[in-house]
Amino acid sequence: MRSPLSSLALLCLVAVGAACTKNDTATASGAIKVRSTDDACEVSPAEAPSGNVVFEVTNDGTKVTEFYVLAEDGVRILGEVENIGPGISRNLVLQAAPGKFFTACKPGMEGDGIRSAFTVTDSGTPVTTGDVAGLLATATDQYGDFVRAEVSELVEKTEQFADLYTAGKDDEARALYPDARTHWERIEPVAESFGDIDPKLDLREADLEAGQTWTGWHAIEKDLWPPTNGYTALTTDQRTALADQLVADTKDLSTRVQDLSYDPAKMGNGAKELLDEVATGKVTGEEEIWSHTDLWDLQANVDGARIAFESLKPALETKNAELATTLSARFESLEDLLGEHRKGDGFVLYTQLTADQIKTLADAVNALSEPLAELTAAVVL
């Protein structure tokens, strides 16, 4: 119910009654119909009352098409849907304040598109579409700085960890393990975006297929916290090979991250994915099945999501202050709860948590994750 769309829709219902779009399986009655063909872009009607505006874009052409809503200057993109295959219909929903705009279909995904003027009349509905472009640019810059700083720390601590492990200083390696991994877990969606690095560094044993070579953190984890039965400790050579690979792959990540650019959608989705990680891997104790240091990872995932959120928060406050308030409060609750499980510089082990404590953590994660999933749409729409 805290969805920005549903609360706006409610507002819309109250304010303009029949003009509101209906949440029905049938075609939304108030939707602007857009018919994109290979050489035409019919937008009907060419105006809408301010508030939530729904464009129902149908591709009646033979080429893949895109649809844009542009500001009066014809340059700034207010909303877009891409990859609409022939015969496919897709909605573009945006919050529009009164003013003049352009619509554009781009069959074949080339050129400036087939444009026409579009007018948003004043419905009386308050719409906050304040120009947040500047705030979002700052947000993406901040987030980029954060990722690069984390990767730098990750490389440093991974090298230390690798040295301890190959030198057979197991106690020290075990102590550094969750600390070093914190810098990985904070930026995991960024690493995952490369596809090939994540499996090399963070594959769990169950993720392997028959015959696949196991590398990365968890192979070393098992060797440092070996099961009591049926495990053969790795030789020094095997340890060295694993550790060298770990460092090389981490450096590879560091190199690739330097030139990476971010956009608000990537950040918002990254935050959502971090909380997914928490829900499916950490709260269940599946991530660190040998070391049981899941709470370190959990804290790190939450850190990463919080940084993304806080970078986006100024923009979010402009567009949906209520969601910003909710998210701040939910982050705080989860942080407080995690605080109860702190011990020394770190946390208690997952295996020391009671079933009730795990359930309470899971509830707090769900409570945060649900509104956090709305962050992207709230800042981008």
Binding residues for another protein (CB under 8 A): 59, 64, 66, 82-83, 85-90, 109, 206-210, 212, 269, 272, 275-276, 279-280, 283-284, 286, 355, 358-359, 362-363, 366, 369-370, 372-373, 376-377
Q: How far is the CB of 161 from another protein (least distance, A)?
A: 26
Angle at 227 between CA 173 and CA 229, to 5 degrees: 145
Q: 162 or 190, CB closer to another protein?
A: 190
Q: How far is the CB of 164 from another protein (least distance, A)?
A: 30
In the three-class reduction of DSSP (H, G, I as helix; E, B as strand; rest coil), residue 259 is classed as: coil
Q: How far is the CB of 51 from another protein (least distance, A)?
A: 21
Q: 1 or 206, CB closer to another protein?
A: 206
Q: 176 or 267, CB closer to another protein?
A: 267
Q: 16 or 377, CB closer to another protein?
A: 377
Q: Which two tokens stand for residue 307?
A: 């940084």
- Rounded to whole angstroms, how far apart are CA atoms 84 and 94? 18
Q: 260 or 362, CB closer to another protein?
A: 362
Q: 272 or 292, CB closer to another protein?
A: 272
Q: Which two tokens stand for residue 364?
A: 């707090």
90's enclosing H/E stretch is strand 89-96
Q: How far is the CB of 117 from another protein (least distance, A)?
A: 25
Q: How far is the CB of 211 from another protein (least distance, A)?
A: 9
CA distance to 148, 157, 173, 293, per residue, from 288 (Å): 25, 18, 15, 6
- Rounded to whole angstroms, how far apart are CA atoms 278 and 267? 17
- Rounded to whole angstroms, how far apart are CA atoms 280 and 302? 14
Q: How far is the CB of 123 from another protein (least distance, A)?
A: 26
- Rounded to whole angstroms, how far apart are CA atoms 241 and 248? 11
Q: How far is the CB of 87 from another protein (least distance, A)?
A: 5
Interstrand relation of 89-96 and 342-343 (parallel, antiparallel or unpaired): unpaired
CA distance to 205, 207, 215, 278, 317, per residue, from 210 (Å): 11, 10, 14, 27, 50
Q: 49 or 56, CB closer to another protein?
A: 56
Closest CA to 374 of 304, 311, 326, 329: 326
Q: How far is the CB of 17 from another protein (least distance, A)?
A: 27
Q: 17 or 195, CB closer to another protein?
A: 195
Within 8 A by CB and 6+ apart from 60, the residues are 35, 36, 37, 86, 87
